[in-house]
Structure formats: C-alpha cells, structure tokens
Amino acid sequence: MPFIAENLGVITPDVTAWMEHLCLPGMLVLQFAFGSDFEKNPYAPANHPENACVYTGTHDNNTSRGWLEAETSPAIRKQLGRLAGHKVTPETVSMDMIGFALASKARFAIFPMQDLLGLGPEARFNTPGTSSGNWLWRLEDRDLDIAPASSLAELAAKQGRNFS
C-alpha cells in the first residue's frame, strides 16, 4: 500500500503487529537518533530497517540547523561529527543530515525544504504545545532558485538513490 505509518510516540504491540502484517513502513526521525545509547537507538542510521521512511526531521521538529544550534549538547555534536567524518557546523548540518538519510537502508528518505535550503529556527514549521507562531513559513519562488539541486542529485546518486 502507498502509505507510511506515523509510528512516533507511544506505539502499542498491536499497532506494530498490524504495521508488519500490512507491510507498512514506519517513520524514523534522525534527530531522535543522537544522545545516549546511540549504537542501539532504532533511529540511528545503522539500525534502520529497509521497510521504513527516514526523515531528517518532521513538521514538529526544529530545522536541522536550528536543532544543532539550540537543542544539541557537545556530546551529540561529537556523535554527529563521528558519523559525518568531519566537524558538523551550522553551515553543514542540513546537508549532513540529508546525507545520513540518503545513506540509510530505509526505502524512503524525506527531508523538509527548510533543511534542503539550510535554514535555521526562523523557518521552523510547528512547535507542539504552542498556540501561536506556527505554520507560517512559506517556500518562495526565489528559494527554488537557490536550492542546491546539483549537490542533492550528486549526493543521491552517490548513495544509489534516484528521484523516480
């Protein structure tokens, strides 16, 4: 079926069983991978199953850049650097996270346009539990002119992914 199950939060065994029965891919959010127990964390790229959809973040997360700048600890930044093979900076984190998603064995990889554009917390879409300031960011035509299409195509090809 052409569906992806939103299996974030508390998921009961019966939901997991139905997902498996229906062969529904679940969601894996890369921002959830980092921290204690990284090696065993199901959101860590090395632990992704093939029947899954990996996201750099969702509409409820900060952008990758905003997350790095405001929500990560020095230990998480070290983990990011080890995975990337270089120091991850605000200028590189978005494409690093996209690269991690594309390198995953998960069948699908999705990333918000804010990450593709390398935007910070000013482009965050939604902050759960707040009643104002949400759903205001909009993609402008000029954003498409500056999107790193060739870099994305090269990264996708390097990881054996295509856009069809």
In a domain, 8, yes or no: no
In a domain, 3, yes or no: no
In a domain, 2, yes or no: no
In a domain, 142, yes or no: yes
The answer to whether the predicted template modeling score (pTM) of the entire model surpasses 0.85 is: yes
| Ordered DSSP codes for 135-157 | S-----HHHHHHS-HHHHHHHHH
In a domain, 64, yes or no: yes
In a domain, 78, yes or no: yes
Cα–Cα distance for residue pair 15/54, rounded to 1 Å: 19
User: Residues near 83 by Cβ (< 8 Å), separated by ≥ 6?
Assistant: 45, 100
| Ordered DSSP codes for 32-95 | GT-STTGGG-TTSGGG--SSEEEES--TTSPPHHHHHHHH--HHHHHHHHHHHTS---TTTHHH
What is the count of structural domains for the chain?
1
How would you write the pLDDT of the chain (164 residues) with one tens digit per residue?
A: 689 999 998 999 999 999 999 999 999 999 999 999 999 999 999 999 999 999 999 999 999 999 999 999 999 999 999 999 999 999 999 999 999 999 999 999 999 999 999 999 999 999 999 999 999 999 999 999 999 999 999 999 999 997 65
Per the structure, the complete domain to which residue 97 belongs is given by 13-158
